[in-house]
Structure 1
Amino acid sequence: MSSPGIGSGLQVDQIVAKLMAAEAAPLQAYERKTASYQAQVSALGALSGAVGVFQSALGSLTKIDAFRSLSAVSGDDKIFTASAGAKASPGNYNINVTQMAQAQTLTSNGLASKTSAIGLGGKTTLLFQFGTSTNVGYGIAGGGLPSAMHANGLADGSLTINGTAIATSADTNSAATLAAAINAKTGATGVTATAVNVFSTFGNVATGADGSYSLTVGGIEIAAQGASTNVGDGVTTAKIDTALESGPVRDALDAAGITFSGTAAAGTLEFRSASGGSIAIEEVVGGTVSGGLETAAGSANDGSTYTSATSVRLTSANATDITIGGSNPAAAGLTAGTSGGNLAGTFKYDSSPLTGVTIDSSNNTLEGIRDAINKANIGVNASIINDGSGTPFRLVLSSTKTGEKSSMKISLQGDGGNPADTALSNMLSYDPAGTARSMKQTAAAQDTKATVNGIAVTSAGTSINEAIQGVTLNVVKVGSSTLNISKDTSTLKTNLTNFVKAYNDLDKAIKDMTGYNAETKKAGVLQGDFTAQTVQSQLRKMMGAPITGLSGTLTNLGQVGISFDKTGALNLDTAKMTKAIDENFNDIAGLFAAVGSSSDSNMSFVSSTNATKPGTYAVTVTQLAAQGSITSLAAPAATTISDGTKWKVTLNDGTPSSLKNTIDIDIPAGTYTPTELARVLQGAINGNSGFASAGSSVTATIDAGGKLVLASSKYGSVSNIKLADAGGTTVNSIFGGAAPVAGKDVAGTINGLPVTGSGQFMTGQAGSGIEGLKIEITGGAIGDRGNISFSQGYAYQLNNLATSFLGAKGLIGSRTEGLNKNIKDIGKQRDAFNTKLEGVEARYRAQFTRLDTVLAQMQSTQAYLTQQLASLAANS
């Protein structure tokens, strides 16, 4: 143990401390530099935050929709509310809601137990299809009215229904007048009547070299053919049914208020008029013609006028039998007695995904069936109700969607070629187009119906979209009210005001950081800093330059009342802004947002990147995008699909091929018209969960030549489809050995420069003048397609500029990174200097310790000599 100076009295610690204080003086310079750098880093953080706040204020101005904002005000929001999008136009509308959308509900007959087994437990699939149906209901289909009635009417007392006399007379001389007389007593009978026009037997038509043929219903031509057409190549029952299902013929019938049930192919086609009157069913024959109405195929048609057979159809309101009586019911085409049954309607499958629910011995109870349907998540809710009767438990099925197209058809199929379980079929089958319906409809699927300024509109749900372009009506209840659509200038003014304020806040922050405060006599932390000055100067430069590429009248901020004052802050002239908005509302979007426009309706601007340069560019298309598809070699006739039919479908497969893109698809058994077959194929494929999860689907259509086209929904080189047999009806029996065609990507140039094609999208390649410009070509012709114009407004450019400031490698980020590196370097220098000081201190201590030792020795010698000299002096 030692203590420096204890021997000599030398103040070693104090001396070393003072020496070291002098040696450590340079450390203060390190600390000052560190503090300065840290203050700059903090200031840059504040600058970054201020730029971020400014960028946030730009968000509402960078998208074009923000400048097309319209307000939608309902006169009575208890009837409907409304919202207006970018494509809406100002105006006033009268809205009358007459019907609310609802889902279909089906109810089974009652069972005594909800847990007892139903049927034998064999595997049975419940197949649900959704579409549009006319369910005529329960009642009696009358026979054709005799000619005597048409001539003389129906004598009073001839007809009673459910014990109530129907008042008739000589004026009751048609199906329409008879139906009116019956409906006058509906309150007492519980029965309604409809006039029905029967489309009788039809032979497929052939025409000679001089022949021609046309068929009209209610004055609407539904089929026609010219000369020299063989049987099967012209008008057939299948083509009549196809024409009635969809397209212009169906639209014309709907517009005329003519509905139908049954099919021509089955000889059950019937037409009804909304007015209850008779409908003329006529054919016009010229030259040599065989086949046609009431004429067998191959038999000569002499062109005689055909008069459709008319009758009345009786429908029971509570689905009970109807009792017919009177002195002469046969004169009304009815038979005395009590009877009734399900009346044939129609069902048009809408190509929705076709899905099935498996019932077997593990779940063949009422509760099991309910749970299986709900678990399958197929668009149907199942529940059980107890009506309190002797057989109280009923299965209730409701579509999860509203609208006419949500009507259900339920068919049952067995497994491995075996029939469906009889008990399950007797309980659950439901076909609106047939009479063997096990379940009863307790609520019909229906659309929301309304008029807009007197024009009828419909919607499957309670929201009506695009009846007025760009407007959504959210219907609450039946009723009438008004709707006002007007420009929402207040939102735009608020956005522009916020933009000016946000810039001025940023400008003030920069001035405070870089300026000199005369009162405090202190300079800002970033005074003279290149980064802060660059941020400020680039923002001002960008806002001071006009926007290029605009076709409107507005090209600079001053035209909307925004200008710089002498201090560099923005001023907002609200009067000038209001005038610009009122007079040039549609042009303001281009002044702030990124805007693209096209001279071709089949070509549209999609997006751009920071590298995309504004301008007008010529577009040339050398190849249109195509879908992968397969087209039947001939038009399919009425087609029968056998039980157990499976096709191996490969959809949108890549290179190398992947097994997950090939799936076995079950095709439901049945006899289908070409249109029905297309819908069934589309629904069966799209209903597969494997394809759905991969985002793959198909469309199935009948082309202008009557051929069946099955196509991938995707476009481009990733689009392809292939079919192979896996059991039952063969692919070749439908498509005739047709080969699939692969999809193609769109190809061409933009401004003569190469592009990357992907599906229907063309994108400018990197490094070119059109880099990042993405457009969509949805159709049209090969060749020059006009121009795409693109401009970048102030908010869009400022947003990109702010992003370049704030990025990790951006202006502020790079500067901050450099300062932090300087701080680390100074820390290293300080640490090295401290290490050096430790060595200096050790050397000083060693030197003074040796000095202390020498002094102590000298002091000891001095003391000894002093003592000896003193002793000598005393002895002398």
Structure 2
Amino acid sequence: MASTSGISAGGGALDVNAIVDKLMQSEMRPLASYDKKTASFQAKLSAYGALSGAIGKFQSSLGNLTSVSSFKSLSTKVGDETVLTASASGKASAGNYNINVSQMAQAQSLTSKGMASTTSSVGLGGKTTLFFQFGSTSGSFGVNATKLSSTVLSGGIGNGSLILNGTAIPTDGSTNSARALADAINGKSVTTGVTATATATTTADNLFAGTGDVATGADGTYALTVGGIQIAAQGANVAAGAGVTAASIDAALAGPGAVATALADANITFTGTAASGDLKFTRADGSNIAVTETVSGSVGAVTGGIGKAAGSINGGFHVVAGSNVVLSSSGGQIKVGGTNPALAGLTAGSSGSYNGASFTMDATQPAMSVVIDNTNNTLQGIRDAINKAGGGVTASIISDGSAVPNRLVLTSTKTGEKSSMRITLSGENGDPPDAALNDLLGYDPGAAQNMTQTAAAQNTKLTVNGIDIASASNNISDAIQGVSLTVTKTGTTSLSVNKDTSTLKTNIEGFVKAYNELNKNIKEMISYDPETKKAGALQADATAQGVQSQLRRLLGSTLTGQSSDMNTLSALGLSIDKTGNMSLDNTKLQKAIDQNFNAIVGMFAAIGSASDSQVNFVSSTAATKPGTYNLDVTAMATQGALTSDAALPANVTIASNTMWSVALNDTTPSNTKNIASVNIPAGTYSREDLAKVLQSAINGISSFSAAGSTVAASINADGKLVLSSAKYGSDSNISISDGSGTTFSSLFGSATPVKGTDIAGTINGQPVIGKGQTMTGSPGSTIEGLKIEVTGGSAGSRGTVSFTQGYAYQLNNLATSFLDSKGLLGSKTESINNSIKDVAKQRQRFADGLEVIEKRYRAQYSRLDASLARMASTQNYLNQQLAQIAANR
């Protein structure tokens, strides 16, 4: 308020400020009542805030009890955690397991030949497309050694001659056959990772060509042995044709008889005949075969025999047939060393490739295509282009320090034996791919392997209680139901899975503690303490009492959908006394855990189940009512699809540079993210292989995978090609238009895309909202918010869907309703805030009126003060005049 000085009149004056201040103090007295109202409202608001905080704290304690998995938690104990770690979900069952891990999963890695520079151009720069496909490779990986030399066959391999992957292979004079060498190598396979197989030993194709009749003189004898087994013999004085002949040799071999039996016992087989000159002997295990003609007598006492015409002198004959070994590894290169590895038919250095292998494409793995041209045809450019593609391969460059040190290394982003790579190259407009690029990057396990495999794609292999398990990953979730294993090394360990009752008890004890704390807070807020003579902040408050009453009523209710022996809190040993305090009987709780462990989840959480195995409960809302409902499906969800109008031929050729524009699960209006150009690898395919190629190529588009869109390709019973979106419902669709190369119509004809449809039906005869394969109860119905998924089967009656709400779930919903802006406390708090605002507005209006009153008072008393001043001045003037008159007398 303003202030002015009083106007003096003679010796006195009016103190306007003091007068106005006194008057305004009286006028301002009603402001205190406004402040008192505001303080009262704020105290109430603070009390409701404290109550809301207590309810919120209680609600947070319900988290573990509303989660279904919390009640099915199991603990795991691993004997040797250096081998693996484990965790169990609610789907697991208690049990004990012995686990032996024999192999770890790994990704395939390929290395190119060395290049002098990483920035020099590779090839001529013509457009070449790299296609990466993924699948499994059959066949052995390793090294084919050359045949053992005659020196080895007679004298063996000296010790120290051969080292494999850093381990010396023990050899000596007895290591004189492929069989013996293989045995020596396999004796060290645990440390080398290399196994050896001896190839079959076979005698020369023309060994018996020109075999002549044997004749012996007076002192001559003749014997033919194969592998130490006598095949034929002739004494002295036997004329040519009367003893050993090609025909007699064949007769002895044909059996039955001692010769045939002895050969079979020695694992020696034969083909051809001596008479025709193509007789060959074979030992499948790679042992040597010695063929010997032993003669005696004077010179010329024996004529004829192997390779000698009748009458030609036979001075005896001996030859040893040997074979070679084939080395195999788990897929990595084999490093060969030693003082003389050539004796074993091997060359020093690292090497290895697939032998007699074949590649089978896995259509479930997205393919990847990369274009190389004159803008990126360097080692660095190729690396960057592959990495930018963001597919199933990563690329890097390593330098090995050699004269041509730079090598491109390609590694699959996935582990597992079905993630092996095949890299094919295609040119543009029917032209072949760039020869230099093909020589650098082409890789087909069943054909040219221009890159070197340094690590093979392989699965984790283990046994669980003696049962063989294979997994593409070292993280295994399907070996033991509900148990996830993370393998860290090979080895053996035990695993035990047990019910985790301690966690359940802790959660229930936490619930009791939290509820009692909330109950205490509410009691203190609404009660009067006669000892301190203080009332609670919300004494006799209907809202607070309503909160208390609803909580107690819910906890004292009987659950719907639970068995009669497990539908009240008392079944778990929980009870509430007359003061509202909750207590826990641990003995009764333990009995419930022991006898009804699986039913406890329904006491606290919201759970749903279906009688049909192809119907899954998904979720519910606070509005969903407990009960058992009949499910009827009137129309199953379908997928968008495109089917060729005629059967495909047995073999289909895709031209180079074939590119189609594919729209997958596109929207209205269209979204460019749902449309992409798809490169189809050139080649001639069977119908089934073409389906795999198309599926893999489309699913390899990064924008599709980012949107979660995939396709499945197949050949139906009529031989027609079918492309379908993996998505169900009205948002599922696929369409294709031509780009270049082989046309879409050449495969599909005039086929028209068919859009998917949503599931339709009712739950308990009430309407639902169908979306894809899910059905959700409509608002306002007893099934509101009940969401289920129908994954298969057919239209018609599909059994029942049951839903129950446990105490913790209902309490959580109740707490949410209390705290909601439109709920019991939320609306009350909002009302109080509005009242505080109204009082503040009233106070402001009153305060604004006080300024007007003060101005009026000041104006009135200022005028009065002025009047008095004028009167005082007149009085002074008169006094002066009168005084002057008196003086003049």
Structure-2 change in CA distance of 1:117 and 1:362 (3 Å): same
Q: Is the 8 A contact 1:357 1:372 kept in 2?
A: yes
Q: Is the 8 A contact 2:641 2:733 kept in 1?
A: yes
Pair member with larger Rg: 2
Q: Is the 8 A contact 2:664 2:675 kept in 1?
A: yes
Q: Is the 8 A contact 1:634 1:735 kept in 2?
A: no
Once the two structures are TM-superposed, the CA of residue 474 in structure 1 deviates from its matched residue by 0.8
Q: Is the 8 A contact 2:139 2:354 kept in 1?
A: no
Once the two structures are TM-superposed, the CA of residue 447 in structure 1 deviates from its matched residue by 0.9
Partner residue, 2:305:
none
* 1:714 match: secondary structure: strand
Structure-2 change in CA distance of 1:382 and 1:868 (3 Å): closer
- The residue type equivalent to 1:525 in the other structure is A
Is residue 77 of structure 2 the alignment partner of residue 73 of structure 1?
yes
Deviations 1:735-766 (A, max 9, x none): 46554433221111110112121111111111
Partner residue, 1:543:
555
Q: Is the 8 A contact 1:131 1:348 kept in 2?
A: yes
Q: Is the 8 A contact 1:124 1:412 kept in 2?
A: yes
Once the two structures are TM-superposed, the CA of residue 699 in structure 1 deviates from its matched residue by 1.0
Aligned partners of 1:547, 1:366: CA distance in 2, in Å? Answer: 70
- The residue type equivalent to 1:587 in the other structure is A
Structure-2 change in CA distance of 1:387 and 1:662 (3 Å): closer
**Worse-matched range after superposition: 599-608 or 703-712:** 703-712
Aligned partners of 2:676, 2:759: CA distance in 1, in Å? Answer: 29
Once the two structures are TM-superposed, the CA of residue 439 in structure 1 deviates from its matched residue by 1.2
* 1:367 match: secondary structure: helix
Deviations 1:635-655 (A, max 9, x none): 652333222223333322344
Q: Is the 8 A contact 2:181 2:325 kept in 1?
A: no
Select the residue among 403, 407, 410 that pairs with 1:397: 410
Aligned partners of 1:807, 1:602: CA distance in 2, in Å? Answer: 37
Q: Is the 8 A contact 1:71 1:488 kept in 2?
A: yes
Structure-2 change in CA distance of 1:864 and 1:721 (3 Å): closer
User: 1:358-369 residue pairs with structure 2 within 5 A?
Assistant: 358-369=371-382
Is residue 570 of structure 2 the alignment partner of residue 558 of structure 1?
yes
Structure-2 change in CA distance of 1:601 and 1:312 (3 Å): farther
* 2:570 match: secondary structure: helix
Structure-2 change in CA distance of 1:740 and 1:24 (3 Å): closer
**Worse-matched range after superposition: 606-615 or 807-816:** 807-816
Partner residue, 1:265:
none
Gap regions ≥5 residues in structure 2: 157-176, 189-193, 201-283, 287-322, 346-350
Is residue 625 of structure 2 the alignment partner of residue 624 of structure 1?
no
Deviations 1:495-549 (A, max 9, x none): 1111122222222222222222333322222223232222222222222211112
- The residue type equivalent to 1:97 in the other structure is V
Structure-2 change in CA distance of 1:42 and 1:425 (3 Å): same
Select the residue among 426, 432, 448 that pairs with 1:419: 432
Once the two structures are TM-superposed, the CA of residue 862 in structure 1 deviates from its matched residue by 6.9
Select the residue among 14, 20, 29 that pairs with 2:18: 14
**Worse-matched range after superposition: 857-866 or 6-15:** 857-866
Q: Is the 8 A contact 2:656 2:741 kept in 1?
A: yes
User: 1:89-488 residue pairs with structure 2 within 5 A?
Assistant: 89-137=93-141, 160=148, 164-165=152-153, 183-184=182-183, 186=185, 192-193=196-197, 314-315=326-327, 318=334, 343-351=355-363, 352-434=365-447, 436-488=448-500
Once the two structures are TM-superposed, the CA of residue 191 in structure 1 deviates from its matched residue by 8.5
Structure-2 change in CA distance of 1:620 and 1:643 (3 Å): same
Q: Is the 8 A contact 1:764 1:771 kept in 2?
A: yes
Is residue 813 of structure 2 the alignment partner of residue 825 of structure 1?
no
Structure-2 change in CA distance of 1:194 and 1:621 (3 Å): farther
Q: Is the 8 A contact 1:102 1:447 kept in 2?
A: yes
Q: Is the 8 A contact 1:755 1:763 kept in 2?
A: yes
Aligned partners of 1:350, 1:583: CA distance in 2, in Å? Answer: 48
Q: Is the 8 A contact 2:199 2:326 kept in 1?
A: no
- The residue type equivalent to 1:539 in the other structure is L
Select the residue among 30, 36, 43 that pairs with 2:40: 36
Once the two structures are TM-superposed, the CA of residue 430 in structure 1 deviates from its matched residue by 0.7
Q: Is the 8 A contact 1:161 1:324 kept in 2?
A: no
Once the two structures are TM-superposed, the CA of residue 792 in structure 1 deviates from its matched residue by 1.2
* 2:546 match: secondary structure: helix
Structure-2 change in CA distance of 1:859 and 1:315 (3 Å): closer
Partner residue, 1:593:
605
Give the TM-score normalised by structure 2. Answer: 0.75
| % identity of equivalent residues | 57
Deviations 1:633-685 (A, max 9, x none): 43652333222223333322344555654433221112223332221111111
- The residue type equivalent to 2:450 in the other structure is S
Deviations 1:788-836 (A, max 9, x none): 0011111111111211222222222221221122112112221222233
Partner residue, 1:23:
27
Partner residue, 1:204:
none
User: 1:592-671 residue pairs with structure 2 within 5 A?
Assistant: 592-632=604-644, 633-634=646-647, 636-657=649-670, 661-671=674-684
Q: Is the 8 A contact 1:166 1:185 kept in 2?
A: no
CA RMSD, aligned part only? 3.6
**Worse-matched range after superposition: 685-694 or 655-664:** 655-664
* 1:102 match: secondary structure: coil
Is residue 513 of structure 2 the alignment partner of residue 511 of structure 1?
no
Aligned partners of 2:732, 2:694: CA distance in 1, in Å? Answer: 18
Q: Is the 8 A contact 2:148 2:324 kept in 1?
A: no
- The residue type equivalent to 2:498 in the other structure is S
Aligned partners of 1:72, 1:706: CA distance in 2, in Å? Answer: 50
Once the two structures are TM-superposed, the CA of residue 44 in structure 1 deviates from its matched residue by 1.6
Is residue 52 of structure 2 the alignment partner of residue 53 of structure 1?
no
Aligned partners of 1:441, 1:678: CA distance in 2, in Å? Answer: 28
Aligned partners of 1:636, 1:840: CA distance in 2, in Å? Answer: 103
* 2:793 match: secondary structure: coil
Deviations 1:372-402 (A, max 9, x none): 3233332323233333333333222222222
- The residue type equivalent to 2:739 in the other structure is A
- The residue type equivalent to 2:129 in the other structure is T
* 2:642 match: secondary structure: strand
